[in-house]
Structure formats: C-alpha cells, structure tokens
Amino acid sequence: MSSYAILLGRQRHVFDDLKAVMAAASPEKSGDRLAGIGADTNERRVAARYLLADIPLRTFLEEPLIPYEVDEVTRLILDSHDAAAFAPVAHMTVGQFRDWLLSYECTTAALSALAPGLTPEMVAAVSKIMRNHDLIVVAAKTSVVTGFRTTIGLKGRLSSRLQPNHPTDDPEGVAGSTLDGLTYGVGDAVIGINPAGDNLDACMRLMELFDRLRQRFDIPMQSCVLTHVTTSIKAVEAGAPLDLVFQSIAGTEAANRGFGVDLNVLREGREAALSLKRGTVGDNVMYLETGQGSALSADAHHGVDEQTVEARAYAVARHLKPLIVNTVVGFIGPEYLYDAKQIIRAGLEDHFCGKLLGVPMGVDVCYTNHAEADQDDMDNLMFLLASAGVNFLIAVPGADDVMLNYQSLSYHDIVSLRHSFGRPPAPEFEAWLHRMDLLDGEGRLAPQASSVARRLIDYRPDFRASA
Amino acid sequence: MSNPIDLDPFARFRAVTRARIGLGRAGDSLPIRAVLDFQLAHARARDAVHGHVDFSAMAERIGATQSVIRLKSRAADRPTYLARPDLGRRVDPAALMLVEKGDWDVAFVIADGLSAAAVEAHAEIVLSACLRRLGDLKVAPVILGEQARVAFGDEVGETLGARMVVVLIGERPGLSVPDSLGAYLTFSPKVGRRDSERNCLSNIHADGLAHETAADKIVWLIREALRLGLTGVDLKEDMGGAAALPSAL
C-alpha cells in the first residue's frame, strides 16, 4: 500500500492510501464525517481530487480498497471484470477518463460496450471529480433497457414505481392508493409495496391482491412485495403469484450479512422467480434497493467512503440482472446525508454510477423530517434526474408515505415530468392507458371523476383467500 | 354549490387509509389546498424536530414530588445532534459528575430525541402513570436528557447503578403524527448495549397508544424484565402493541 502526497502552495497534503484519497476527494457528506474519513478542510478535498485525477484507472484493479480475501463483493468485482471491454480506457487516468466521458467520441454504444469493463471503484472515483453537470450529461448518454411485462429504460420514456404502502397492509387501503396511482398512469416500472411485516401469509395475500387486479384489467405490469428474499423464496414454493423478488443490498459482504443475505441466497432468489416464467417481454426478475450510508450504519464499511461503498452495491446488482434498482437516497437520515445539497448530489452520483456500470437505475427522490430538506428540493432533484434520463422514479399518494413516515414524490410529479419532458411511460403500459381511455393523444389524463377513471376506482377486489 | 363529498370517487377508502389519495389536479399538479395541507404537516414535523423541550419548567414540576437530575449529551446543539448520533448517545462528562451510584431497581430518563412536541405533550403524564404503579420498587431520581438519543440511557443507568432503565423519548415525526413518544427499556444498562437488547413501545400519542395503556405495558415489561433478568428479543411483550426498533433513533 502506497501513500499519496501533493504540494499545493506551501501546504503538503499526505494521504495514507488509495481509500483515504477517495474519501477525502468525495463531496461533503455527513456520513463520511461520522466515519472520520471525510476531508477536514476544503483545500484538502481539492488536493485529493488533484491526486485522484492522476491515478491510472487500472490501479483500482491492482489495489482493491477492500481486500479480496475478506470480502465476496470484492471477489465478484475482480473475478467478473471484462478486460476486453476495459481495453479502450485501460491506458487512461481518472482525469482523462472524465474528459473522455464528456467527449463526442463517448457515445451511447461506446458506454454500453464499456460497462462490463468498469468496476465500481473506477466509476466512484471519476464521479468524485465530476460536477453535477457532468454527472447529468454523461448519464443521459447511457442506455440500460430491461423487461418483464413492460420494457423499462428506453430512450424518451419515464417509468415509475407505484408505492401503495399502508401501516397495517389493510387490503382496501392498499387498493385505494393503487387505484389512485393507476389513474395517473403510475406503476409501469412496478407496483411495489413495503409490507408492514415479514409474515409469509400476509405477503402472499398482497401478491394475490395485485395479481387479481392485473388480470381483471389486463394490465401489462409487474408487482412486488418488498419482503426479505428468503420470504419471497418461500412464497414461490407455496405457489404465490410472485413477479419480482426484492432485496435491499449493500456494497460489502459484511453489510449484506447485516441484511441477512449473501450472493448465494440472492442467486437462489433469482432462480426461484425465473422458475415461474411469468415475464412476457423479458426475464429480468429482481428488484433491488440500495442507499449511501447503509454499510456505515452496519459498521461494515472497511473505512471506505459511503459513495464508493454504494457503487460497489451496483456490482452486486449487475450480477443479478435486475429489472429495476433504486437508491433510497434521502431515506437513511441526516447522519449520512445531512441536507438537500448532499441528498441531491448523492442522487445524481448514484444514478450516474449505476448507469455507467450497466444497472437499470432509478431513484427514490425522498427525505425524512429530520433532514434539512423539503419538497422544493425534491422538485429540483426530480427535474435533474429526468434530465439525466433516469429509468424510473418512485411515487406515493400526495408524496406522503403513511407507513414509512417519510416523503417521496407524488403521483402528480410523475405526470408533470412526463408532460414537461415529453416522456411517456413504458410502451406496453402506455398502450394500455390508451386502451382504457385514461390517456389522450396529447398525453393528458382523464379526470378521476370521469367514467373511464371510475371503472378502475370502483373496482372491488375480493379479499378472501385465493381460489 | 354541490357537496364535494358526494363527488369524491375515493369516499369508500377514506375510513381505512390516511394516504393522500384522490386529491384532484390543477393541470398536472396538486391543487393548492393539497399543497398547503402538506406544507402544514411538514412544518409541524420540522418544528417538532427543531423545537426545545423546556426542561427547566419540567424539572420544577417533576421536582415537586421526585428527585430530578438534568443532564446533557455530548452533542452541543441540534445540528450536531442530527449529524452525529454517536454524540447524542453519550453523556456530557462534566454533567455526569452529578450522578451518584445507588441501589435502584429502575431509572427513568426523559430524552428530547427527535420530537420536542412529543416529550412536552406526553412524557410527564406517562412517567407519573408509571410511578403510580411502581410504589413497591426503588426508583432512581428522574433524569432529564437534553440532545439525547436512546442509548444515552445506557450510560446514565450504568452510572446510577440501576438494574434497568426506561427512556421516554420523542420519535422521528411523520407528517400525520408530529408528537409520537416512544419508550425503550433496557435491562442492565451499560455503554455499548445493542438495540436487539432493548424492548420498545412506540406510537404513544393522541391517536395511538393511550397514556394509561402505555403505562400498563411499560410497567408489565419492567416487572417481567426484572423477573427474567433481561430485555430484548427474548422478552416478548404479549400485551400487544410492541414494535420493532426504529433504527433512526
């Protein structure tokens, strides 16, 4: 392990190792301060960036930030690295790579071909010397397309997760939030509920509820009950109509263990969902969530900064060929991302890093009530992410999640972004909205009091046990 | 003018969910009333997080019948408290000198946590309801903890020499409830206790767990914990209503 040093004026800045340079180069995050690894002066942060810009990309293959021997995520990253795909940028430093990403030569096709040759540490490193502008324009050049019953990530489209959470999983309450969202054309990425508990029967009842709704109106959609992967595997074994397997994941083996998973059980979850063959336009069967700070909160970060650990989670995600992945960027709390500036920056970093690695990235644009942020800040982030070509965004009724007690985007926000950017939902779902007369030729929605909307809203699900 | 309730397509859902459904639209956007309702709820939640508990007045009121000790955490102010949970879990060393070791069955800590509104509204009522039910136990002086998190009680309880500690603390406010109080019980408190070694009652507020019911449950847990010599995942609160530990505290 070598140390790094730079002289700026009369001040010499010394860093013990590569991960110290990475941590100090990171934009200010309360979580890195909490971990005691963030830059303690503004000058030191820029000093680390000068050093980082001159470090060759291949250094990250030669000097793992978390040792190969102790961490299966590091082993996955290095063992699956595609040297041929890496070849076009193998000679570059981090700084040269940043300039190349912004160049005209760096096209969508070039980025898609490059993705298997990049490691999380490389994309995290380059993101640290990129301004928000750079993160947006480069991400907008990427394309990551996946499919199950809808096709997500196509250029010129914006998909959304409909999140009908309810504090007690009351089926009528869940139905109310779901039907409301469908009349806004929300839910083409997934109808995904965080259940109040991990109870298998309760989760299976929710899967039934969504599957009956899907069949009743012939909706091209997928649903997901966001329970632990082991519960989903049991649901598959019990014959539940499961579309997607969900799991929260992180960027180190130890942090994943804190979530009660490892790579093997994640692969088992994927196999279980694949065995049902329920997809029609694709076989991406996983839904994964991540978020900066999760490894630190489990004391499993190995002294690596929270943004780099987050990027490593995308290597885990990439391995599982997911339909959708999102960072829950402002959910984890102000001890990791203090205010709107940090949340917005992290949202753009996560989206950029995920997309560059070939992950179908979405974002839960959100905040808690003890963070220094409000809905105006979420407006900013959602417009920035739409500019960056985000695959999907999460929406809840009126932006208020009454079960998890935090704020996300509203159904209205999705409608507004689609209208402002001229980005309809996934093509299969858009065609369904037209068939239902919920959407007119100019992308305008039918009012909820209209008879076409009432057809949906007046649906009364049968809550009794499955036939 | 027509009655808007009659026109509400979501009327049948209103009784079973507080979700903000069927809000209507102004173009693509939320109607002004929905925008302001949301802003009011968020404003109350923010005020709860950033509000100050008047611990001086509280110390006087409680001090009329009980011994009271006021302590501070190592987090000097609210921004530090929010960014550095590690500091909110430890007691200011200078203040800790005021605490003497004794022979106590249980110690109560009132901590501001993330909702001053919750502590102001519910903490003293729940405390006195508990004390009325615990006449046979040796109860330590009541500790008032400023800028304090749940684990603050571990160091306090350890210093007092209490067999267990109960922390009454303001929970992270949601939009629907800005003043929810939580109660965290820890047997054999000492610095470094894990969250899995505690029991928790949450949602003590006007629309949630009532004060007297909360006191019944807390006292039941205290007696069971002292009898079994433990708290945490192995002590099941079978009176109903026990919740998972919110990690944000």
Which residue among A139, A163, A192 closes a domain? A139
Inter-chain touch B20–A399, beta carbons under 8 Å: yes
Contacts of A405 (CB under 8 A, 6+ apart): A368, A369, B172, B173, B174, B175, B176
- pTM, entire model: 0.93
> A246, A195 in Cβ contact below 8 A?
no
Residue type, A102: L
Which residue among A69, A104, A139 closes a domain? A139
Question: In chain A, which residues have their Cβ closer than 8 Å to the Cβ of B83?
Answer: 30, 33-34, 334-335, 338
pLDDT exceeds 50 at position A254 = yes
pLDDT exceeds 90 at position A266 = yes
State mean pLDDT over B88-109.
Answer: 94
pLDDT exceeds 80 at position A322 = yes
A76: domain CATH number is 1.10.220.70
Answer yes or no: do A119 and A253 share one domain: no
Q: What share of chain A is helix, strand, coil (3-state, %, to 5)?
A: 45, 15, 40
State mean pLDDT over A2-13.
Answer: 94
Residue A297 in marked binding region:
yes
pLDDT exceeds 70 at position B239 = no
Residue A98 belongs to domain spanning:
4-139
What pLDDT sits at residue A297?
86
Answer yes or no: do A281 and A323 share one domain: yes
Residue B200 in marked binding region:
yes
pLDDT exceeds 50 at position A14 = yes
Q: From CA B175, how far away is CA A423, in angstroms rounded?
A: 31
pLDDT exceeds 80 at position B2 = no
For residue A463, tell me if it sits in a domain. Answer: no
What digits encode the pLDDT tens for the residues A56-75?
999 999 999 999 999 999 99
pLDDT exceeds 50 at position B248 = no
For residue A465, tell me if it sits in a domain. Answer: no
For residue A467, tell me if it sits in a domain. Answer: no
- The reply to whether A450 touches chain B by the CB within 8 Å rule is no
State mean pLDDT over A411-415.
Answer: 98
Which residue among A115, A139, A163 closes a domain? A139
Answer yes or no: do A109 and A213 share one domain: no
Residue with tokens 């829950």: A328
Answer yes or no: do A247 and A266 share one domain: yes
What pLDDT sits at residue B238?
63
Answer yes or no: do A135 and A238 share one domain: no
Query: How close are the terminal C-alpha atoms of chain A, in Å?
Result: 63
Q: What secondary structure letter does DSSP report for B120?
A: I
Answer yes or no: do A238 and A304 share one domain: yes
Residue A79 structure tokens: 């063992």
pLDDT exceeds 70 at position A464 = no
For residue A233, tell me if it sits in a domain. Answer: yes
pLDDT exceeds 50 at position B13 = yes
pLDDT exceeds 50 at position B54 = yes
pLDDT exceeds 50 at position B242 = no
- DSSP H stretches of helix in A13-87: 18-25, 30-34, 42-53, 59-62, 72-79, 83-86
Inter-chain touch A369–B13, beta carbons under 8 Å: no
Quick check: helix, strand or coil at residue A417?
helix
For residue A280, tell me if it sits in a domain. Answer: yes
What pLDDT sits at residue B3?
47
Answer yes or no: do A174 and A125 share one domain: no
CA-CA-CA-CA torsion sign (B128, B134, B136, B142): negative
CB atoms within 10 A of CB A101: 24
Answer yes or no: do A313 and A200 share one domain: yes
Residue A245 structure tokens: 């397997």
Number of structural domains chain A divides into: 2
- The reply to whether B114 touches chain A by the CB within 8 Å rule is yes
Probe site for chain B from A405, A421, A459 (most B CB atoms < 10 A):
A405
Q: A136 to chain B nearest CA, in Å?
A: 25
Q: Which residue has the higher pLDDT, A127 or A463?
A: A127
Phi/psi of residue A196, nearest 5 degrees: -70, -25
Answer yes or no: do A244 and A347 share one domain: yes
Q: A187 to chain B nearest CA, in Å?
A: 15
Answer yes or no: do A273 and A386 share one domain: yes
Question: In chain A, which residues have their Cβ closer than 8 Å to the Cβ of B39?
Answer: 375
Would you place residue A196 in the very low, low, confident or very high pLDDT band (cuts 50, 70, 90)? confident
Residues facing residue B229 across a β-bridge: none
Domains of chain B in sequence order: 50-228 (3.40.50.11240)
Question: In chain B, which residues have their Cβ closer than 8 Å to the Cβ of A209?
Answer: none
A171: domain CATH number is 3.20.20.70
Q: B30 to chain A nearest CA, in Å?
A: 6
Q: Are strands A151-152 and A146-147 parallel, antiparallel or unpaired?
A: antiparallel
Quick check: helix, strand or coil at residue B91?
strand
State mean pLDDT over B5-31.
Answer: 90
Answer yes or no: do A178 and A213 share one domain: yes
What pLDDT sits at residue A198?
78
Would you place residue B220 in the very low, low, confident or very high pLDDT band (cuts 50, 70, 90)? very high
Phi/psi of residue A32, nearest 5 degrees: -70, -30
For residue A196, tell me if it sits in a domain. Answer: yes
Q: What secondary structure letter does DSSP report for A339?
A: B
Inter-chain touch A335–B21, beta carbons under 8 Å: no
Q: What percent of chain B has pLDDT over 90?
A: 83
Answer yes or no: do A94 and A209 share one domain: no
- The shortest CB-CB distance from A399 to any of B38, B84, B173 is to B38
Residue type, A279: G
Quick check: helix, strand or coil at residue A193?
strand
Inter-chain touch A399–B83, beta carbons under 8 Å: no
State mean pLDDT over A426-435.
Answer: 97
For residue A162, tell me if it sits in a domain. Answer: yes
Residue type, A215: Q
> B207, B214 in Cβ contact below 8 A?
no
What pLDDT sits at residue A443?
81
Residues facing residue A439 across a β-bridge: A445
Q: From CA B53, how far away is CA B147, in angstroms rounded?
A: 10
Least confident among A304-313, B103-112, B167-176, B237-246: B237-246
Inter-chain touch B19–A334, beta carbons under 8 Å: no
Judged by phi (left if over 0) then psi (alpha if -120 to 50, else beta), residue B201 lies in beta
What digits encode the pLDDT tens for the residues A131-177?
999 999 999 999 999 999 999 999 999 999 999 999 889 999 999 99
Q: From CA A136, how far away is CA B209, in angstroms rounded?
A: 47
Probe site for chain A from B28, B78, B205 (most A CB atoms < 10 A):
B28
Probe site for chain B from A370, A401, A454 (most B CB atoms < 10 A):
A370
Q: What percent of chain B has pLDDT over 70?
A: 92
pLDDT exceeds 80 at position B5 = no
> B117, B47 in Cβ contact below 8 A?
yes
CB atoms within 10 A of CB A178: 26
- The reply to whether A334 touches chain B by the CB within 8 Å rule is yes
Question: In chain B, which residues have their Cβ closer than 8 Å to the Cβ of A407?
Answer: 42, 175
Residues facing residue B204 across a β-bridge: B181, B209
pLDDT exceeds 80 at position B240 = no
Q: A400 to chain B nearest CA, in Å?
A: 7
For residue A131, tell me if it sits in a domain. Answer: yes
Q: Are strands B104-111 and B162-170 parallel, antiparallel or unpaired?
A: parallel
What digits encode the pLDDT tens for the residues A205-248?
999 999 999 999 999 999 999 999 999 999 999 999 999 999 99
pLDDT averaged over chain A? 96
pLDDT exceeds 50 at position B244 = no
What digits encode the pLDDT tens for the residues A380-395?
999 999 999 999 999 9
